[in-house]
Structure 1
């Protein structure tokens, strides 16, 4: 048996109805208890006042003897001004445990003689009486005053019944009201659920419906849509990586397979030809490794799988990158202009990747024994990294296309995967900067990466 409702709407309704029931019941019981306490205090106060009056008229009460106030001919002759007769009250004078005089209403059940003075409550035959016993002067006798409190007991029962009825009515009205209100409040969540059911793995599929209110649901809608955008971006990057890898790896893998097959069919292949075949295989292996490394970096950038921003010393980064590039391309002369320390907020690995690709691109597409000039400058809040070579350059009408992936110039014969400038362009955009391709002073290609020196907002994840 399930005691806790499964649905959110039912849980809210049950919780609020239960809370209202407890609050109304407790408030009602407090009020009823206070009323009952006041009634009983009034009875005790009245008994004390009557006891004081009886103390002054004790002799008269003793002279009248043991008579009931409801005897014929006496109901209108009450010496206490009607205080006792017909008021469901009784006064008894006690001596040595015996009743020696009484006046007032006689209860239908025998009343025991109290053993001690003070207040007490007597019950019997369906009636409840309140009793006050006090010493009577110095005679050693005692006087007992009794008051029927059945009306108070009935009033208490009636008040409890009223509180119970009001509590049940409040719980029912609250449950109905909350059930209707939560239907309106949870309607935006129902819209989100309907929209979520319509979402598929298609990267161009619909997003969740935009919700403006309430604020919590609107925040949830924006957060879920941001998450969907991130997932779709990651999925699109994965699909693009798979497609690009499959397209670009087909040629080098085919070449490797053909070379291996040639070596297998010709075990006695002359040594010069075997050396050429092995060198071709090494070249294709390097091409595959370079291609996979570039594709992996592009996929991470497309998916925004980036660490937190940190301060990056561009001067030290360029100095180290130029030293390593000079060892990779010993025939090329790299000339780095001295510059004051410049620091930007970004990702060390991403900026190093962009600089390495610019330096390698300049070495591969410039003259074999040429020069590559590197300059770091700052203009206001913009930092510029300029890399120029002395090669043939890129015609103006082809420069934008050269930033695309797997795009190679028509006049180039240098090895490469066509991903270098695409990687630089991506890193520039991730750092809220730009990549500009132009002509250098010597006619070669001049690539300028402009970055903001102030930290920009984190890219959407």
Structure 2
């Protein structure tokens, strides 16, 4: 059986009560020991002073002879008057025999001292303190004794008082700590009640605590964790719902084409080729859709790699080169606009930024004018330390009243005739916000769409970039 209390409140109370008990007991015992030592030291000094006085009048004590009465003394007996009722005794010893004594005579004879100096004698339940000194003559010795039972009783009484005070302090401390911990741990009880009330559909955070600091930190950490879990859960739900909604149409079309091929095995080669091409297109659409949804879900759940330094000029060079190969009929022109005189860098995720740029380049090719031109400009605002990537096409553009809505998922413009899932700008907008930037849609000088991404630049730009310094050479597609 374990004796350790289970609750934190009980453990704190028990620990503090035990600590107080030990501290008070030790402090009390030290005080009692000091008092007892002082009493015994004072008694030894008194015995020494009494021995000095008796030695001065030793002849007078010898003249009085032996006095072994009850110790009441007489008015003419200086030593009897001094020692009577004081529980003291004075003895003169010669050749191993008591030749004179004065004071309180104990019922049982006290043994003779075996050596000079201080000694403690116990007889018949009584304790005496003795001081024996030579008188100067050969064989004569003086012994002064004092009953120390009052000191022993005082020691016992003080020890009992310490024990009582220790017990009282322990009880009072336990009661006080029990009440105080109830107040201190009340925020934890609120957190516990809030945690028990959490369910799948609960959006309320845990109760916020401000004191004590440890509970406030725990409350903040738990609420942050719950926010992350809710974000991840909402991203999963949204991914499932969006995937189910958007995959229904291509999967239905794909299923119908497969069924047509099964029911008509005698289709001509031309018709079969068209059906297979339709299936390939739907398959590509499904794959692209799932990839886009997965990327959005990861961004919503903040399942992101470690941030690193990204050189935008290099990223744009690679992205434009690949876009030119994907859309050979489109002319891509990349130029750095003054005052870009250094390698522009941002802190973020290269994959995410490349995904955003690729989507914008593909959108400009798909929704712009056939065999058109796409201009890409890179600029650096040194005042605000902001990097801007601007992509312009010469297509129909997006009406101003539809531009904000185009950032939503599965939203397609009314002027477009190109296929797509409506996730392109949503992916771009998500990545830009994950990089603490902004996305603006406007009208290009050619009347098409102008998209501007503004990102905070890295604190330390890289060395000068040759193609940035001279304005950059345009990259053209076939």
TM-score by length of 1: 0.90
1:262 Cα deviation after fit: 4.5
2:126 & 2:236 partners in 1: Cα distance?
A: 88
Cα distance in 2 for partners of 1:329, 1:117 equals 121
Residues 79 and 103 of structure 2 are in contact (CA less than 8 Å); yes or no, is this contact kept in structure 1? Answer: no
Matching of residues 152-163 of structure 1 within 5 Å: 152-163=151-162
Match of 1:207 in 2: 205
Q: What corresponds to 1:4 in structure 2?
A: 4
Counterpart for residue 367 of structure 1: 369
Query: Hey, what's the Cα distance between the residues in 2 that align with 1:134 and 1:210?
Result: 80
**Among 392, 414, 421, which residue is 1:388 paired with?**
392
- Aligned partners of 1:78 and 1:85 also within 8 Å: no
Match of 1:229 in 2: 227
Q: Structure 1 residues 265 and 54, CA, compared in 2 at 3 Å: closer, same or farther?
A: farther
Q: Does 1:353 align with 2:365?
A: no
**2 CA distance for matches of 1:289 and 1:138?**
125
1:418 aligns with 2:422: yes
Q: Is the 8 A contact 2:80 2:102 kept in 1?
A: no
Task: Output the aligned Cα RMSD.
Answer: 2.4
Once superposed, which parts of structure 1, at least 4 consecutive aligned residues long, lie more than 6 Å away?
Answer: none
**In the aligned structure 2, how far is the partner of 1:118 from the partner of 1:10?**
56
CA distance in 2, matches of 1:116, 1:274: 132
Secondary structure, aligned partner of 1:167:
helix
Q: Shift of residue 36 of structure 1?
A: 0.8
User: 1:10-43 deviations in whole A, cap 9, x for unaligned?
Assistant: 2222222222222222221111111111101001
Q: Report the 3-state secondary structure (helix = DSSP H, G, I; strand = E; otherwise coil) of the residue aligned with 2:333.
A: strand
Partner residue, 1:119: 118
C-alpha distance after superposition, 1:274-296 (max 9, x if no partner): 44444333323322222122112
Instruction: Choose 251-260 or 236-245, whichever is displaced more.
Output: 251-260
For 1:130-181, what per-residue CA distance to the aligned partner results, in whole angstroms no more than 9, with x for missing partners?
Answer: 1122233141333222110100111111111111111222222222222222
TM-score (norm 2): 0.87
Q: Does the CA-based 8 Å contact 1:78-1:84 persist in structure 2?
A: no
Task: Judge conservation of contact 2:36–2:151 (CA < 8 Å) in 1.
Answer: yes
Partner of 1:290: 288
Structure 2 residue aligned with 1:108:
107
Give the Cα–Cα distance (whole angstroms) in 2 for the partners of residues 210 and 414 of structure 1. 51
- CA gap of 1:135–1:327, structure 2 versus 1, over 3 A, is farther
SS at match of 2:351: helix
> How far apart in 2 are the matches of 1:258 and 1:123?
117
Q: CA deviation at 1:405?
A: 0.5
- Equivalent residue number for residue 56 of structure 1: 56
Mapped to 1, the partners of 2:458 and 2:80 lie a distance apart of 100
Give the deviation of 1:47 after TM superposition: 1.1
Q: Kindly report which structure 2 residues correspond to 1:161-176, keeping only aligned pairs within 5 A, or say none.
A: 161-176=160-175
**1:85-121 per-position Cα deviation (integer Å, ceiling 9, x unaligned):** 2211112233444333322212233322232222221
Matches within 5 A, 1:52-451: 52-68=52-68, 70=70, 74-80=73-79, 82-202=81-201, 205-264=203-262, 270-338=268-336, 339-340=340-341, 341-379=343-381, 380-381=383-384, 382-451=386-455
SS at match of 1:233: helix
Count of aligned pairs: 453
Higher mean alpha-carbon deviation, 10-19 vs 435-444, is at: 10-19
Greater CA drift, 243-252 or 94-103: 94-103
